[in-house]
Structure 1
Amino acid sequence: MAIKITAVLFTLIGLALAVGGGQLLLLGGSAYYLLCGLGFIATAVLLFMHKAMALRVYAVIVLASLAWAIWEVGFDWWQLGPRGGVIIILGIWLLTPWVRRPLGFSSPTGMRYGATGTPLAASVALAVIIAVVSMLMDPLDKSGSLPEQSVAAAPATGGDVPDGEWHQYGRTPYGQRYSPLDQVNVENVANLTEVWRYQTGDVKLPEDVGETTYQVTPLKVGNALYVCTPHNWAIAIDATSGKEIWKYDSNSGLNPDRQHQTCRGVTYFKDQAAAPDAACAERVYLPTSDARLIALDAKNGQVCPSFANQGTLDLTVGMPYNPAGYYYSTSPPVIAAGKIIIGGAVNDNYSTQSQSGVIRAFDVNTGELVWNWDSGNPTQTAPIGEGQTYTANSPNSWSVFSADEELGLVYIPLGNQVPDQLGMGRSENVEKYSSSIVALDINTGADRWVRQTVHHDLWDMDVPAQPVLLNITKPDNTVVPALVGPTKQGDIYVLDRRTGEPIHPITEEPAPTGAIPEDFTAPTQPTSAVTFKPDTLQEKNMWGITMFDQMVCRIWFHQYKYEGRYTPPSLEGTIVYPGNFGTFNWGSVAVDPERQVMFGMPTYLAFTSRLVPRADIPPKGEDEKASEQGLNRNEGAPYGVFMGPFLGPLQIPCQAPPWGYVAGVDLRTGETAYKHRNGTVYDMTPLPLPFKVGVPGIGGPMITKGGVAFLGAAVDNYLRAYNLTTGEELWKARLPAGGQSTPMTYAVDDGRQFVVMVAGGHGSIGTKPGDYIIAYALPR
């Protein structure tokens, strides 16, 4: 019976591989699966005939599969495993007495002997040995060390922030995410323990939009932490004890047309001209998802009526269109030179009749409009008059700004015009400013320079991250005010922030062609010398848990349109790689201004997009997400678009891991010192497996003078500490929910250094939602 069942199983496997392999070969892919399928069928026939030759034929399959796998991917265990797992398991089954005995022979005395399995046993043993050896190797790992010496003894950190505090989203207006505290260091970070845990009470609701996320970085001023929540509550917490001081609910409500329900942070301001005990002498500004900016007294959470209209600034004023839920601010504004400067998020791919992407500066005390910079009308920065409107659907900035008050510049990461995947009919100004970093004059709003990172962007490659400012000492010891700009497509632009000119070279490289007839592609695209752009995908990079879903991913790979980075959108479907989450996203990177090095988390996850003619778009509500996944309707445009991660039949990525790394860069030389897999599949699979595959993540890192980099972000729920010099993981703490935020650190009155992480999950990547704020410190 065992031999018959085995023969049937081999027949089914052989047919599946032969049919799929034949289709793959016709698409121009590997012949392996077809040949392997035929080998399985031959083995099955021999099993049905009770021929011992079946074991020898299968030994050839094992050896040939092993040789083919090593030829394709070398000794990468995560690639070898799916190719050989089923084959090895079946080889071991064929060696059991239940299979070998019926294939053997009987002696004249009637004794039954099993067929010899020596060739098959030897081939299986060799495969197992190679598998074990490959588990001890990582051919994709890059090991090295960043320089440890301090280059700048008194580095510019941007802003008068006490060492033990954290006043803005990136600690200072420079956005470095660097703390000069060193009590926690590489020698003792493994001793960190939880000190307190606070729950906000703002939890994800059943009626919330899918992308309800908790991405806040707390601020620390005096002995108070200031945070916001996804539903736009502002909360003050005692920094030592974690006890709530006050809570304010903005009552921003729910709206199913909002693409995002989140808050990345609040903004703090101290009015130096006010008496210390005066009401609203210190303020917290709360952006809301119904497009308001609210000023609160930092001491008690009361609304400050002297700001704008009884404490509330309406950000929809001047918008040419104003459908509720289409425009809001998810990121904290920046304060510089007495002005609070703010942009806003416009729903991606909802409608061409979208609000303007205007950047506005208001008087920080009164809320009076000082200037407005609209990329659709960039030379007119004086405040628009009553009844006037900004340019509809101009490129917007939904991320965080940075500022240099000495140079008088604020740095804006700009996105694209709706729809992201269709470029026809864009104006000259849109073509100039889309997907760029723009430096605006803090006092007038005039643009001083623009650095575009994608030409004629058809891929939603917004500049997603706060530009990071520091001074870089060049080899000739000249000091250059620099800007580090991470991008979705993997390039990191290192620019002179005075002029936008590159410190590390930028080259133009030929780009794929073949846009739809109504559109066009840029002939070249810029690439920075400092880059984490991925290698072009090949069929051998397709992946799966088994050889079967891997084969399907190979077939799909050839069915999509793909010629590398910047392959244009198409009606048949296009692979977008890097995908819409980007290599870098709003979490940006962290830099050490003393050592002039950078720590970041490059992520690699391919997406697909498929244009849908307007006439073929299904009725409203069917498979509709209007975000990174599902149908984006693009009302007013000739095409909608289906988008989503490039996943296989088992809903895991079709591309092979790693999908996420930690990496360190010497910003003086532009060289990447190390790049290591980051994160496990612990929370990605039904079983809590601690396999360090290297997983995707959304969030940001933080660096301390103690030589430690902290990062959550990965889709397994951990906060980790790394050696900044080598990238070695030094410590981790299990989080009660997804850690898709950026950690921060501060000191309390008794001198202890705390590290704080917000764990609330992320709707788009499916991590566990929550409402936790957790503080860690060394034992007393």
Structure 2
Amino acid sequence: MSTESANNGSRWLPRLMGALLLLMGLALLAGGIKLSQLGGSLYYLIAGIGFALSGILLLAQRRIALGLYGLVLLASTVWALLEVGLDWWQLVPRLAIWFAIGVVLLLPWARRPLIGPASKANTALLSVAVVASGACAVASQFTHPGEVFGELGRESSEMASAAPAMPDGEWQAYGRTEHGDRYSPLRQITPQNAYRLEEAWRIRTGDLPTENDPVELTNQNTPLKVNGMLYACTAHSRLLALDPDTGAEIWRYDPQVKSPVGTFKGFAHMTCRGVSYYDENRYVSRDGSPAPKITDAGQAVAQACPRRLYLPTADARLIAINADNGKVCEGFANQGVIDLTTGIGPFTAGGYYSTSPAAVTRDLVIIGGHVTDNESTNEPSGVIRAYDVHDGHLVWNWDSNNPDDTKPLAPGKQYSRNSANMWSIASVDEDLGMIYLPLGNQTPDQWGADRTPGAEKYSAGVVALDLATGKARWNYQFTHHDLWDMDVGSQPTLVHLKTDDGVKPAIIVPTKQGSLYVLDRRDGTPIVPIREIPTPQGAVKGDHTSPTQARSDLNLLGPELTEQAMWGATPFDQMLCRIQFRELRYEGQYTPPSEQGSLIYPGNVGVFNWGSVSVDPVRQLLFTSPNYMAFVSKMVPREQVAEGSKRESETSGVQPNTGAPYAVTMHPFMSPLGVPCQAPAWGYVAAIDLFTNKVVWKHKNGTTRDSTPVPIGLPVGVPSMGGSIVTAGGVGFLSGTLDQYLRAYDVNNGKELWSARLPAGGQATPMTYTGKDGKQYVLVTAGGHGSLGTKMGDYIIAYKLAE
């Protein structure tokens, strides 16, 4: 081979790098011009010029290209440090590609073909820049932005659980008790032995998604353990009784749910979070009081079905089932069934039913219902109804549009349309005689001009009703004139708190907006201060905003978003995210929806959602998994709505808002490459000391293993959908992260103690119980979440300590 041929062959690498840098530089330049016109950072424009010139010089085989590239890389490193400091995940899109190119340019095969003065200054400058950016990457491995490290340092607070008594090894209600604390007094599993947990058994329910199901088919069930059995429901409302030691099926009940249009595809979502349990002997054995008053019809039910389960179905029924054998309790209501559509009026298929378990008390079974968000201004009532727990007759009803008239609705009449609803789980304090309702808002979510006085008073807050009469005893609204879908999705947690003024019966209400409101549950007065803060103004034409919003001093709000907080997998989609940020309206939390498009943060999935929190009443510790994801909300004038536009789910796509002057489009704030536009972490685990109301510890939680095309588990901290539990043994459990794991944590310091890979998404709240063998089990439903995109399945899996 001739010398000329060899030289030509060796020049391909700098030419290739030159062409690549020229294209990259031009892309940055184009985007940088756009960003600068919007008032954003000038970095991309300047860097684009620098990288493009470096590319041109490399194509021309000029050695000075190395020095120029080194200068731009060094300047980029300084800029990145000034913007985000030593935050590894924020440095990656700013420097990773440029660092890698710098390393390649230092290779002999890239340097030797270059021509120009033989000075080593160019290579030295590039070397310094590469070393500097590499050193930043190394140093950032030892920092933990956004995390809090600490330890509770106490095993007991001299407080005891005020929740209703039950055997330690049982889980009798969705939140274990009607107080919704998700706390178990079991202590076999500890931080010292949790590593020994292993799978005890798994079963498959056989309930898998079909082509007739909606996108948002989810498996959010938390099974019960009571009456010597486990009880679990599936997305299609099937109910299974299982042996707690082996998972063997004891009986199964299938209500054969039906859609009025023959398919469930049009349903906004389809799930069953749980069932409710009632035992005729419970109250007598619990406090020695006489049994509840029962009608003759109820007495027959009590004798035939002394232990009952109440199953809500996706076709709006509430069915009473004998917990012993799975047979319908025929004497209850109408052949064992309450038709929840009675008095509701017309609605689209899937537009009304209960996704959550009813609350059960001595005398009542109390239930709300899901109403489809943003469908129209004429949706079904959000009425909450209390039925006799024995014979199923209607005892009272509470409708936020008609709150003072709680006597049972007369036959043939209808409840008010479009009132605020309760789609989540209520909590009950039978000693105080109150039920606490977490209320949603009046749909449409982003259009409030048509809100009723009742909605303006009660929606997006908590309401305490008198158990005997259904009358409101007190209420506290957390979001005034809600335009952001800030439904209270979390079950309130009832706990006795030790304060400077003595022990107080408290209610803790976690909310989507990141505040945890702590009130005296006797009268609704704040225990932790709540301040009314000024908020951005300027709603769309015809609507208005509240001048202030309620913010609790106890909150897990993240910092407000800035252009510097924008992220991406590369500098290019990060730049596009910065452009999007500048184009959207954003003035902080509670920025009103707009025709321009508004950035909503926290987004409508919320910091806290239906998973709520768990509270250890003995340690006075709150354990939780907050999320931080922004959404984009854009109001679309009715005349601009494209014909045939369809929603993807209640939180994505075009939402019709029929009857309002605007439709709305909503979607997560994502880069063109499908990663969030805001920097991680997007999900944490955290603990709060309820003595001091301070965060004890807070750590990133979860990996990208199941969220990217390449299954690499980057520990960025991912969102979680599902609740946590905490035990007297000092171990908390959580399974709702987007990666498919059940994890155990030391609640004193947040250390991850153990994890188990799940065969499908674990977007449900785990539970724990004692088996017939005397062993403590931890159980989780792993069935996936359709709209979150986690793997679907039909698994129930139990774990216990290895022998």
* TM-score range normalised by the length of the shorter chain: over 0.9
Deviation track 1:73-108 (CA, whole Å, cap 9, x = no partner) reads: 01010000110011111111211223211224699x
Instruction: Assess if the C-alpha contact under 8 Å between 1:104 and 1:114 holds in 2.
Output: no
Q: Structure 1 residue 264 and structure 2 residue 273: aligned? A: yes
- SS of structure 1 residue aligned to 2:532: strand
Q: Please give the TM-score of this superposition, normalised by the length of structure 2.
A: 0.94
1:187-206 equivalences under 5 Å are 187-206=192-211
CA contact (8 A) 2:785 2:791 kept: yes
Contact 1:709 1:721 in 2 (8 A): yes
Q: Distance in 2 between matches of 1:455 and 1:205?
A: 40
| 1:462 matched residue in structure 2 | 487
**Is residue 38–residue 579 contact of structure 2 (8 Å, CA) maintained in 1?**
yes
Q: Deviations over 1:51-77 (max 9, x none)?
A: 221111111111110000010001010
Q: CA deviation at 1:618?
A: 1.8
**Kept after mapping to 2: 8 A contact 1:143/1:675:** yes
Alignment check: 8 A CA contact 2:723 2:765 kept: yes
Match of 1:371, SS? Answer: strand
Measure how far apart 1:147 and its partner are: 4.3
Please tell me whether residue 624 in structure 1 is matched to residue 629 in structure 2. no
Within 5 A, what are the aligned runs for 1:353-372?
A: 353-372=378-397
- TM superposition shift of 1:619: 2.0
Alignment pair present for 1:700 and 2:723:
yes
**Mapped pair 1:733 → 2:756:** yes
Which moves more between the two structures, 349-358 or 89-98?
89-98
Q: In the TM superposition, what are the counterparts of 1:595-674 in structure 2 within 5 Å?
A: 595-620=619-644, 622-674=645-697
Match of 2:365 among 333, 336, 340: 340
Superposed displacement of residue 580, structure 1 = 1.3
Paired residues of 2:606 and 2:628 also in contact (CA < 8 A):
yes
- Equivalent residue in structure 2 for 1:490, among 510, 514, 517: 514
Residue 52 of structure 2 is matched in structure 1 by: 41
Partner of 2:284: none
Residue ranges of structure 1 left out of the alignment (5+ in a row): 108-112
Superposition pairs of residues 402-417 of structure 1, within 5 angstroms: 402-417=427-442
- 1:32 equivalenced with 2:43 (yes/no): yes
Question: What is the distance in 2 between the residues matched to 1:412 and 1:316?
Answer: 20
Asked whether the equivalents of residues 321 and 392 of structure 1 are also in contact (C-alpha less than 8 Å), the reply is no
The answer on 1:55 being equivalent to 2:57 is no
Aligned counterpart, 1:518? 542
Quote the Cα distance in structure 2 between the aligned partners of 1:528 and 1:664.
17
Aligned mates of 2:653, 2:801 — CA distance in 1? 45
Equivalent residue in structure 1 for 2:594, among 570, 575, 583: 570
**How much has 1:279 moved relative to structure 2?**
2.8
Whether 1:103 aligns to 2:106 is no
Deviations 1:447-500 (A, max 9, x none): 011111101100000001100001001135x11000010000000001100011
Partner AA of 2:172 in structure 1: H
- Contact 2:216/2:649 (<8 A) preserved: no
2:9 alignment counterpart? none
**One-letter amino acid matched to 1:679:** G
CA offset digits 1:530-570 (Å, max 9, x no partner): 10122110001100011000000000000011111100011
Greater shift, 540-549 or 747-756, is seen at: 747-756
- 1:275 to 1:252, Cα distance in 2 relative to 1, 3 A: closer
Name the structure 2 match of 1:556: 580
Looking at structure 2, the residues matched to 59 and 656 of structure 1 have their Cα atoms a distance apart, in angstroms, of 27
- In the aligned structure 2, how far is the partner of 1:366 from the partner of 1:152? 42
Counterpart Cα distance in 2 of 1:706 and 1:495:
28
What's 2:801 paired with? Answer: 778
For residues 374 and 616 of structure 2, what CA distance do their matches in structure 1 show?
A: 37
Equivalence for 1:19: 30
Matching residue of 1:237: 242
Quote the offset at 1:353 in angstroms.
1.5
1:593 paired residue among 596, 607, 617: 617
The amino acid across from 2:75 in the alignment is: A
Structure 1 residue 115, shift from structure 2 partner: 8.8
Q: Does residue 544 in structure 1 map to residue 568 in structure 2?
A: yes
Work out which of the residue numbers 134, 140, 147 in structure 2 matches 1:128: 134
Say which is worse superposed, 679-688 or 180-189, in terms of deviation: 679-688
| One-letter amino acid of the counterpart of residue 532, structure 2 | E
Deviations 1:408-427 (A, max 9, x none): 00000000111000010212
| Structure 2 equivalent of residue 110 of structure 1 | none
Contact kept? 2:300, 2:331, Cα under 8 Å: no
Listed as ranges, the gaps of 5+ residues in structure 2 are: 1-11, 282-290, 292-298
| C-alpha distance in structure 2 between counterparts of 1:153 and 1:256, whole Å | 49
Q: What secondary structure is seen at the aligned counterpart in 1 of 2:211?
A: coil
Kindly indicate whether the alpha-carbon contact (under 8 Å) linking 2:301 and 2:391 is maintained by their aligned counterparts in 1: no
Alignment of 1:438-457 (within 5 A): 438-457=463-482
Q: 127, 132, 148: which is aligned to 1:142?
A: 148
After superposition, the Cα gap between the structure-2 partners of 1:7 and 1:206, relative to the gap in structure 1 and judged at 3 Å, is: same
Conservation of the 8 A alpha-carbon contact between 2:205 and 2:794: yes
Distance 2:733 2:322 in 1: 31
1:320 aligns to what SS in structure 2?
A: coil
Corresponding residue for residue 401 of structure 1? 426
* Shift of residue 625, structure 1, vs aligned partner: 2.2
Distance in 1, Cα, partners of 2:555 & 2:304:
49
CA distance in 2 between counterparts of 1:106 and 1:41 reads 22
**C-alpha displacement at 1:289, in angstroms?**
0.9
Give the match's secondary structure for 2:17: helix
Residue 186 of structure 2 corresponds to residue 181 of structure 1: yes
Aligned to 2:71, the other structure's residue is in SS state helix
SS in 2 for 1:121: helix
Note the aligned Cα RMSD (angstroms): 1.6
Kindly state the Cα deviation for residue 384 of structure 1 after the two structures are TM-superposed. Answer: 1.4
CA distance in 2, matches of 1:601, 1:626: 24
Tell whether 2:484 aligns with 1:479.
Answer: no
Range moving further from structure 2, 209-218 or 421-430: 421-430
1:747 aligns with 2:770: yes
> In the aligned structure 1, how far is the partner of 2:115 from the partner of 2:527?
73
Q: What letter is aligned with 2:628?
A: Y
Cα distance in 2, alignment partners of residues 646 and 607 from structure 1: 5
1:152 deviates by: 3.4
- Aligned-pair distance for 1:321? 2.6
Q: Which amino acid aligns with 1:615?
A: E
Q: CA deviation at 1:606?
A: 0.4
| Contact residue 655 and residue 663 of structure 2 kept, 8 A | yes
* Rounded Cα–Cα distance in structure 1 between residues aligned with 2:20 and 2:198: 53
Aligned residues: 772
Greater mean alpha carbon deviation, residues 545-554 or residues 132-141: 132-141
Contact 2:67/2:121 (<8 A) preserved:
no
- The 1-side partners of 2:59 and 2:181 are apart by 69
SS in 1 for 2:523: coil
317-326 or 724-733: bigger deviation: 317-326
Post-superposition CA distance 1:107-152 (Å, at most 9, x none): 9xxxxx9996222112101211210121232122111122424123
Look up the match of 2:529. 505
Which residue type is aligned with residue 719 of structure 2?
Answer: P
Q: What one-letter code is carried by the residue in structure 2 that aligns with 1:381?
A: T
Indicate yes or no: 2:318 matched with 1:318: no
Q: Equivalents in 1 of 2:122, 2:635: separation in Å?
A: 58
Taking only the aligned residue pairs, the percentage that are identical comes to: 51
- The answer to whether the 8 A contact 1:348-1:626 is kept is no
Deviations 1:480-535 (A, max 9, x none): 00001000000000110001111110001110011112111111111001101221
Question: Are the aligned partners of 1:321 and 1:353 in contact in 2 as well (CA < 8 Å)?
Answer: no
Distance 1:21 1:105, change over 3 A: closer
Q: CA separation of 1:106/1:411 partners in 2, compared to 1, >3 Å: closer, same or farther?
A: closer
Contact 1:358 1:396 in 2 (8 A): yes
Q: Aligned residue for 1:166? A: 171
